[in-house]
Structure formats: structure tokens, C-alpha cells
Amino acid sequence: MQVAREARILVSHHDFQKEYFLDLLAGQGVVVELKAVENLTSIHRKQTLNYLYLLGLQHGSLINLRPPSVVREFISTSLNHADRRAVRWIMDEWRPLSEEFRRLETIILELLEDWGSFLDGVLYREAVTHFLGGRDAVVRKIPIVQGPRVIGEQEAYLLCDDVAIALTTANKNVPGYAVHLQRFLNHTRLRAIAWVNFNRQQIEFRTITR
């Protein structure tokens, strides 16, 4: 069986590109990820699944070489490209407050049509940031306030000067995320947060305001 080491995956959309390197690709059909950690976690499993989705494959192995006895987990998915593009949009609580909101909608729609859902949330965030002008234009430090007092600063992704962007991949405790974002907004001078949650095949848009 032919085995490729450090197999390169290039993900692109228009002029955006991101590279991934998986440890082993066996026979052009099986992803093998090697770890040397105390215990395998959900982060490692999600990483392997992300590679499977990007390659359009369904079977992989996660191998931990650190324990006295090698630990191996099989990672599989039944999803194909068509399944990951069959997304449902939920926009009941989405209020476009400016033209930038429509721009964000268009970017995410095009990414999902090209790549589908279920991928690593960092990939979507980096692509959205790129198409909104790049990190220097989007990521800024904003004051954190308590009443009239500024008590610190925090880095935030901004859709425009007074609206932040939150892109998440939560599929559990989504109401808890909403509470957290509302608290964050209340301690800033922002007008709103444009929140998009990639919950598997369910893509939910919400506008969080004071």
C-alpha cells in the first residue's frame, strides 16, 4: 500500500487559501493521524474528521503513541459532499442593521456552497476575515467597560466600527453561548454582535443587541 507522509491539503475559495498537513494518507483512502499525548480528546477526533471531510473520505485512524500500549481509535463518517451542503438556514432572530450584515450573509453562503458545513470553525473564521479585508482591518482591541469606567481591553472581530462578529460551531448549550455573548456586549460600547453558529447542517444567524 502506498503511504504519503505529511500529505498536503489545500483549501481555497477565490483568492483565500489555507493549508493542512495530515500525518499519513494510506492508499489514497485512509487518513492516519499520529499523536503522542496523555489521552486522546475530542479535539483530536474533530481534527481527524475535518481532514476526512476536506478529502471526501469516510474512514481514518487516530493513533496515540505515548501510552505503554499504543492506543488506536477508528474515526468514521457517513457524510458525503452532498450531505454537508444540504444546510438549513435559521434567520428568525437575524436583523441586518447595515449593508455589512448582507455582506457577511453572502460570504458565508458562498463558503457553504463551496465547502459545505461541519468543517473546523477556524477555517470559516479565517476565510470570513480575509473577505472582509483581512486581519488588520477586522481584528481590533476594544474597551471593556463597567458603567462609565473602562476596566480593560479585549481583542474582537469587528464587522464594522460598532458591530462585532461571533462565528461559532456550537451544537450543545447554544442558549449558553447566547447568554455569554449578551454579557460581553453589555460590557462594551458596541451596538450589536452579528452571531453565526455553524451547528452541523443547521446554520443559525442572530443579531444580539442591548
Model pTM greater than 0.85? yes
Q: What is the pLDDT of residues 68-84, one digit of tens each?
A: 999 999 999 999 989 99
* pLDDT of the residue at 6: 86
Q: Binning pLDDT at 50, 70 and 90, where does residue 29 land? A: confident
Nearest to 127 by CA among 161, 167, 177: 167
Between 25-34, 47-56, 120-129, the lowest mean confidence (pLDDT) is in 25-34
pLDDT at 54 over 90: yes
Residues with Cβ within 8 Å of residue 88, at least 6 apart in sequence:
201, 202, 203
At 110, phi and psi to the nearest 5? -65, -40
Report pLDDT digits (tens) over 85-109. 999 999 999 999 999 999 999 999 9
Residue that has been written with the C-alpha cell 487516530 in this structure: 62
Could you give all domains of the chain from N- to C-terminal order, each with its CATH number? 3-78 (3.90.320.10), 86-209 (no CATH)
Nearest to 123 by CA among 176, 53, 181, 56: 53
Give the residue ranges of DSSP H helices in 41-200. 42-55, 81-85, 99-115, 121-131, 135-138, 174-186
Burial label for 143, CB within 10 Å (0-12, 13-18, 19+), is middle
pLDDT over 70 for what percent of the chain? 99
